[in-house]
Amino acid sequence: MAEPVSTFREMSPDTTMFGVKLGDYLKDAMKQIGHENLFRNCGKCSYWQEGRGCSLYQALPPVRIIVVGCDSFNDTDEIPF
């Protein structure tokens, strides 16, 4: 078994995690998310409160929801940087 990756900088598309290459995992995840939802995530939602989670549901969503957003997504219309 490969040694665990200790820092993000050591990761590459060929890094294997849980038996899957990281590049393949990210490629599949992007296909599932779709280009139209790429920026439809919790960080861009008006309900998101940094360090607290979703103010609409008063909870910290699962990672998948944080990344791809949910049906209650409300665009802030702001550039997040």
Query: pLDDT tens, 28-80?
Result: 777 777 766 667 788 888 999 998 999 999 999 988 888 778 889 888 776 65
* pLDDT value, residue 56: 95
Query: Could you tell me the two tokens for 51?
Result: 């360090």
Which of 66, 11, 76, 78 has its CA nearest to residue 33?
66
pLDDT (mean) for 8-32: 69
CA atoms of 30 and 50, how far apart (whole Å): 24
SS3 29: helix
pTM above the 0.85 mark? no
> How far apart are the C-alpha atoms of 46 and 55, rounded to whole Å?
9
